[in-house]
Amino acid sequence: MSTKMKKNKILFVDDVPTNIKVLLEVLKDDYKVIFAQSGKEAVKLAAKSLPDLILLDIMMPEMDGYEVCRQLKNNPETSDIPIIFVTAMNEEEDETRGLNLGAVDYITKPFSLPIVKARIKTHLELKQRRDQLKGRTEELAATNKLLQEEIIERKNVEEMIREHISFLHDLIKSNSFPSAVQAAELIHNEKEL
């Protein structure tokens, strides 16, 4: 990875120090890895540091990974952070529950390090694309708003022109053209509007 490129930040949440050490060793060259050893700490750290991706264990004391995921997804500041569950819970119901809570992936332990790295890379690339699309959508919305304001302004100008043309038609029909002085006063008054 180029030293000029910003490393993506990954928050790894696990209450087992050995698990943290293993993943830290594997990921530290490619990513900035921060970690939390409890669910409460993870929720606070995620809101403070806004990682690009969260690797989250499910079985932890006090607050399990499902509750951590629920809280992160309910917080507007952290709701878009992709979460990958990394857990020993390997039942279909466990995986379904995690994905239904908003996780983007579910990896069971023991895991293959190359597969974990590949999934992390994939989900970081997907997040980058989503962020780019979100930015482009915001740009387009701002441009659209400006265009709508321009349309309103042009309609107002067109209405004013129609009123002037109608006024001129009425003058022509009644053969009551204003004198040069009156015409100059009318023009001057219109400019002041």
* pLDDT tens for each residue of 129-166: 999 999 999 999 999 999 999 999 999 999 998 888 88
Please give the Cα distance from 46 to 32 (Å, whole number).
Answer: 14
Long-range contacts of 96-101 (CB under 8 A, 24+ apart): 97/66, 98/58, 98/65, 98/66, 98/69, 101/66, 101/69, 101/70, 101/73
Domain boundaries, the chain: 9-139, 150-192
pLDDT band at 1 (very low <50, low <70, confident <90, very high): very low
Please state, for a pLDDT cut of 90, what percent of the chain lies above it: 65
pLDDT tens-place string over residues 100-131: 999 999 998 888 889 999 999 999 999 999 99
| CATH class for the region spanning 9-139 | alpha beta
What's the angle, vertex CA 130, arms to CA 124 and CA 136, rounded to 5? Answer: 140
Please give the Cα distance from 41 to 35 (Å, whole number).
Answer: 9
Please give the Cα distance from 75 to 15 (Å, whole number).
Answer: 23
Please give the Cα distance from 139 to 135 (Å, whole number).
Answer: 6
